[in-house]
Structure 1
Amino acid sequence: MTATTENLRDAALFGNRFATEEVPSREFPAAGMTATDAMRLVAEDIALEGDPARNLATFVTTWMEPEAQRIIAGNLHRNFIDHAEYPRTAEIERRCIRMLADLFHAPGETTGARTQGSSEAIMLGALSLKWNWRKRRQAAGESTANPNLVFGGDVHVVWEKFCRYFDVEPRIVPLQPGKYTIGPDDVSPHVDENTIGVAAVLGTTFTGHKDDVVGINNLLLRIKSERGIDVPLHVDGASGGFVWPFLYPHSEWDFRLEQVHSINVSGHKFGLVYPGIGWLIFRDRSDLASDLVFEENYLGKTDATFTLNFSTGSSMVLAQYYNFVRYGRAGYSYIMKNMQENARMLAEKLQDTGRFTLIGADEEQLPLVAFQLTDRSNFNEFDVSWQLSAERGWMVPAYTLPPNAQDVTIMRALVKETMSREHVDTLARDIVDACTTLEKKGGAHESERRKMVTGSGH
């Protein structure tokens, strides 16, 4: 139905013109609309999506305090890169970098950068590994061809992206059934004089555990001592960098370990800030390859930039600083321990049903529950995930693990800051009810199961 003058007049008087009119979706609109109509159009589209509070798949923050939201809303128009015009915003970034360096036990003066999430931080950190390796090789008169990077199959896909985009050989350590992280014995066969670095994960997205960072560090120290090859270690703390310092403060994984030269962390995950903000922290200023730093002055002042992106909003940097001063160590510890306690309660409730097996619940882990069915004769994890979403609106993902554990299917429920004990109890009951329903009907409908397996479902 096309809009007529009468339709537009009645819509303005009584409600929404898009109740019967097709929304713009293919061609650039020839004419505009009122602000109210535009607001309603967008809001009603988004209303069809899932509730972020029930999205237990994402690690990304879905709630912030009203005061933090005011800081964000009041600075959406402030371009972060304009350091000459907004020097206090630049100073707040430096404060955050110094605070994170302190949190991660940097031994001296260091440097770093805010990034657009951990993906950019990883790209920049890995680029610095490559440039520093090349500099060392050139100084020794050795070939700089064929660089490689060693990491496990438990990493985020951005590590493989880096290798493809920047011409580095990925040496990926495969996982195994029952072993979903990597350690020194896995890494050792892959390290040679062309290795620009090793990446270890602190809090995998698959099961929430960490690689054996201490063991890998000790291996690299032995290689340096016995073979004269100095291979730095980068810790991908995208999820765990804001968890381990508060839940496991005595667990060594950061700059307390000699070969750890850089760390990335996502402020928009357990840093408790909305998307997208990440951080890259170096052990020492020399770990940032100088060739990657550019100076420019067209904004009115000579400034050094070390990012893949340029223009970006200031809001999330300011929101991160808000959280640091708002919560401090005591507040972050309180929040993380609450999430951990609720994760443990959910794990106990699921285990008590007799239907599920927990994965690594007795190990250091992110505040989540990784679990799998003990009996798949009538339905599988993909069926449970779909049934939970269809019946109760919970988004609890089911997925297969990377090679060589691709035959292993698990589910993962992330316990968020806003998830109360009552929510935990309700989720546990809903999971049991979903299983009961599936048992009665013999699994999900085949079409829905196919959607889950191919990733075309919710």
Structure 2
Amino acid sequence: MALSRAQTSSGESLISSTFASRYVRTALPRFRMPEQSIPKDAAYQIINDELMLDGNPRLNLASFVTTWMEPECDKLIQDSVNKNYVDMDEYPVTTEFQNRCVNMIAHLFNAPIGEDETAVGVGTVGSSEAIMLAGLAFKRKWQNKMKAEGKPHDKPNIVTGANVQVCWEKFARYFEVELKEVKLREGYYVMDPEKAVELVDENTICVAAILGSTLNGEFEDVKRLNDLLVAKNAETGWDTPIHVDAASGGFIAPFIYPELEWDFRLPLVKSINVSGHKYGLVYAGVGWVIWRNKEDLPDELIFHINYLGADQPTFTLNFSKGSSQIIAQYYQLIRLGFEATRTSCKIAGTTQRCSGRESRRWATFTWCPRTRACRSWPSPSRTRPTTRCSRWSRACAASAGLFRHTQCPPTPSTSPSCVWSSVRTSAAAWPSASSPTSRRSWWRWTRMPRSMGITSM
């Protein structure tokens, strides 16, 4: 190990580098800026040595983020790493690239725009920011409607499944929106459209459907949800819309399931978000949010700045951000095109099916394949293991679904309901199905409390 940590008599934590000691004779304070500068070689050596303790990004199969791009795109990223995207007057071509990406993705999602029209959307630092922006648009539009009708507008709510990503909970808490969650049940780990519509009331700003659940990659039935909401809106006179969280599935469905109706072909789908750094094949972090038309994004949410002279409309949660990911997304869209992107999706599907076959070799797990998903993960079998411990953990490997043994205390579980917790692993950690395990090595699973949305059948 190249790094060692020293503790002073006063209790101050220091960092000392073995290999950088030829440049630096004294240890560096860990939590304070050092008084003196150090040579650039020493700074690089110290940081590089400590970074060796990080995992290898190429072996990180658990977080669904792109970890490799072509050298040509790497060079474009490096050449633009010092460009601040918000300076649109300084970097008009980068702005043009974002507009092209928005329009390409809008057409991919079947937005009702003509060939000469411009799509409504924006690039973000990821799907979390995109969801915040879409949620704010829904909230403001609902408030304007309720004010015009002379009705209370202080208790908005949003309907989602209990399987939503944490960014939806953040949106609800940060922007004071009640979150109504449709509880899941064993064997059905996505939002039930019928139960979701039952929770809709006059104060519902939208219903959020997921195309690629965080738990198992499954696509929720957006068309069924749309049809049920159309009927309820006609019955009640409401106009409850739908947002599709396509962070994972947005760059999968158009290429693998083109006949699947989940996007702007459905009349109540008003906005869609997608992550460019997942199956958009770009390094973290870039995301996109697309609106159906201009009327779905209230004008009062758009700010106009003129710091550099010209008027610049902006709708983001932050101000400054890098341009490199926007440029990288444009590179991937024009470099791969529809055909190569579809091939990439098919390869991911092949990996998914291969991992499914391999996981069936363990009797502890029951494979629950879905007809349409961006990835599939196994579910725990009802058959309890013979060991004293019946806690299990899924070490998800994106579309690969790899697993490893983990140590856990011999505490029995009392409920069959569970949700998987993500653990990083690699192919090298994948145990043989026939290999014996030690007495203290078990598969572990983490039980989700009922209060978080899981219910038993």
For normalisation by structure 1, the TM-score amounts to 0.83
Q: 1:26 to 1:54 in 2, by over 3 A?
A: same
1:104 aligns with 2:98: no
Cα deviation 1:325-349 (Å, max 9, x = unaligned): 0111101100010111111011112
Give ranges in structure 2 of 5+ residues lacking alignment: 1-5, 8-15, 408-414, 449-457
1:365 aligns with 2:370: no
Hey, what's the Cα distance between the residues in 2 that align with 1:50 and 1:396?
A: 18
Is the contact made by 2:127 and 2:273 (CA closer than 8 Å) also made in structure 1?
yes
Shift of 1:157: 0.9
Hey, what's the Cα distance between the residues in 2 that align with 1:383 and 1:201?
A: 24
Hey, what's the Cα distance between the residues in 2 that align with 1:153 and 1:395?
A: 27
Secondary structure of the equivalent of 1:369?
A: coil
Q: How does 1:12-91 map to 2 (within 5 A)?
A: 15-17=19-21, 22-91=27-96
Query: In structure 1, what is the equivalent of residue 12 of structure 2?
Result: none
Is the contact made by 1:296 and 1:304 (CA closer than 8 Å) also made in structure 2?
yes
Shift of 1:52: 1.9
Q: How does 1:294-313 map to 2 (within 5 A)?
A: 294-313=303-322
* RMSD of aligned Cα (Å): 3.2
- Look up the equivalent residue of 2:167 and give its one-letter code: V
Hey, what's the Cα distance between the residues in 2 that align with 1:315 and 1:57?
A: 24
Query: In structure 2, what is the equivalent of residue 402 of structure 1?
Result: none
Q: 1:302 to 1:223 in 2, by over 3 A?
A: same
Give ranges in structure 1 of 5+ residues lacking alignment: 3-10, 399-404
Q: 1:167 to 1:329 in 2, by over 3 A?
A: same
Secondary structure of the equivalent of 1:235?
A: strand
Secondary structure of the equivalent of 1:63?
A: coil
Hey, what's the Cα distance between the residues in 2 that align with 1:292 and 1:310?
A: 14
Hey, what's the Cα distance between the residues in 2 that align with 1:149 and 1:188?
A: 11
Fraction of identical pairs, as percent: 38
Cα deviation 1:411-437 (Å, max 9, x = unaligned): 77999xxx9xxx6xx66xx2336x845
Hey, what's the Cα distance between the residues in 1 that align with 2:344 and 2:153?
A: 47
User: Which of 193, 196, 199 is the aligned partner of 2:202?
Assistant: 193
Cα deviation 1:194-234 (Å, max 9, x = unaligned): 11111001101110002221111111111221111001100
Hey, what's the Cα distance between the residues in 1 that align with 2:342 and 2:168?
A: 30
Hey, what's the Cα distance between the residues in 1 that align with 2:47 and 2:316?
A: 32
Query: In structure 2, what is the equivalent of residue 432 of structure 1?
Result: 432
Shift of 1:57: 1.4
Shift of 1:243: 1.0
Q: How does 1:268-279 map to 2 (within 5 A)?
A: 268-279=277-288
Secondary structure of the equivalent of 1:265?
A: strand
1:319 aligns with 2:324: no
- Look up the equivalent residue of 1:16 and give its one-letter code: A
Query: In structure 1, what is the equivalent of residue 146 of structure 2?
Result: 137
Q: 1:47 to 1:406 in 2, by over 3 A?
A: farther
Secondary structure of the equivalent of 1:146?
A: coil
Q: 1:323 to 1:29 in 2, by over 3 A?
A: same
Shift of 1:46: 1.5
Hey, what's the Cα distance between the residues in 1 that align with 2:131 and 2:230?
A: 23
Q: 1:208 to 1:336 in 2, by over 3 A?
A: same
Q: 1:206 to 1:20 in 2, by over 3 A?
A: farther
Shift of 1:282: 0.3
Q: How does 1:37-436 map to 2 (within 5 A)?
A: 37-108=42-113, 109=117, 110-359=119-368, 361-372=369-380, 375-378=384-387, 380=390, 382=392, 385=395, 407-410=417-420, 430-432=430-432, 436=435
Shift of 1:296: 0.8
1:441 aligns with 2:439: yes
Q: 1:69 to 1:394 in 2, by over 3 A?
A: farther
Hey, what's the Cα distance between the residues in 1 that align with 2:376 and 2:55?
A: 20
Is the contact made by 1:203 and 1:209 (CA closer than 8 Å) also made in structure 2?
yes
Q: 1:63 to 1:441 in 2, by over 3 A?
A: same
Q: 1:150 to 1:353 in 2, by over 3 A?
A: closer
Secondary structure of the equivalent of 1:441?
A: coil
For normalisation by structure 2, the TM-score amounts to 0.83
How many residues are treated as equivalent by the alignment? 418
Shift of 1:16: 2.5
